[in-house]
Amino acid sequence: MGLTGDQLAELVAQIATRTEQRPRVQQPSHFEGERTKLRIFLVQLGIYFEALGWNEDQHHKKITYPKSLLRGPDGQWLVPYVEGRLQENWETWGQFVETLKLHFGDVDAKETARNKITGITQSGRTMTEYANEFRMIAAETEYDEGTLTRLLLGGKSKKLQDTWEAGETDNLNTTLDITRWAIAKENKHSMMDHIRKGRPTGKFDTTPRNVNVIFSLTPVSENRGDPMELHATRRRPGFNLSAKEYQRRMRANLCLKCGKLGHRAAACRSQTNNKEGVTWERKTDNKKQGWQSAKAREMEVERGAEEESGNDKSPQ
């Protein structure tokens, strides 16, 4: 038995609906009965239902899904209904929302919002952050636009209030206009502060410069060694010697490591000495030095005697 045209069209529509690509959205977080978070929780559910394509008639799905997200006091409240000990007094999604607000919402949301909006200020935050909080609270106050405008201006920073007083703001009559104006002014203030902080301090040299002239370097008064020595201020690696001391030891055939005579740095076993102008003499044995000294005196005496005998033989 074949399908009619209407039946075929309905079947095609059902297949298209099932295969339709849905955007992936973040699932709502758990709700534990906090009165201040119920409003955000319901907004997250509405966005999630819209992304799934659940229409207004799918009440069962809309009620069943948030039940799985209830935790803490909210979850305890739901237990008797799930067990069948209490009769559910809701049939539609709207009725379920009202039941949640009755048990976990603010008893007098309007009065709470009015008390809260008079105390919030910008207090170091950006105008965008302050305006977002103000707008969320203002929605429940049921204040007129003029009252909300005065409250918004009163909570702004002192700098924005001074700019508002000095500027032309007669055409700004709504909280949205004031918010846009304040954000623009705040961005300009931030840009100017950044420019001022980045500008170097002190006097600027206003002497005209000719880019075609080659300028000579100005000699400095500091003692940097011999001007002809390009590396006069540098120290030689390895022995940490200045260039001046390095050249002195090289000319005097001294060890580059310890500054002593008679050997090179490769064979040096002494401690490193990088002091300038110091020449270490080799120590000798006292005993050896004693007999050497006596021998030297004896030779000197003999040499003197020979000179005297030679003088005696010379003609008068």
> pLDDT digits over 252-269, tens only?
888 888 888 888 888 888
What is the reported pLDDT for 202?
A: 52
Q: What pLDDT digit, counting tens, does each position of 66-75 carry?
A: 999 998 887 8
Percent of the chain residues past pLDDT 90, beyond the cut: 31
What is the reported pLDDT for 263?
A: 84
What is the reported pLDDT for 42?
A: 92
Distance CA 174, CA 144 (A): 10
What is the reported pLDDT for 276?
A: 73
pLDDT higher for 12 or 184?
184
Residue 45 has pLDDT above 90, yes or no: yes
Distance CA 65, CA 46 (A): 12
Mean of all residue pLDDT scores within the chain: 77
| Coil, strand or helix at 315 | coil
Q: Are 130 and 121 in contact (CB under 8 A)?
A: yes
Residues whose CB is less than 8 angstroms from the CB of residue 141 and which lie 6 or more positions away in sequence, other chains included:
110, 113, 114, 117, 148
Nearest to 237 by CA among 229, 228, 246, 250: 246
Q: What pLDDT digit, counting tens, does each position of 222-256 carry?
A: 454 444 444 444 555 567 788 888 888 888 888 88
Please write down the long-range contacts of 267-276, taking CB distance under 8 Å and 24 or more positions apart.
Answer: 272/239, 272/240, 274/239, 274/240, 274/241, 274/245, 276/242, 276/244, 276/245, 276/248
Q: Are 74 and 33 in contact (CB under 8 A)?
A: yes
Distance CA 147, CA 158 (A): 20
Q: What are the structure tokens assigned to 91, written together?
A: 């049939």
- How far the first Cα of the chain sits from its last, in Å, is 169
Would the pTM of this model clear 0.85, i.e. be above it? no
What is the reported pLDDT for 279?
A: 59
What is the reported pLDDT for 257?
A: 83
Distance CA 152, CA 169 (A): 14
What is the reported pLDDT for 136?
A: 92
Whose structure tokens read 């409003």? 39
Residue 158 has pLDDT above 70, yes or no: yes
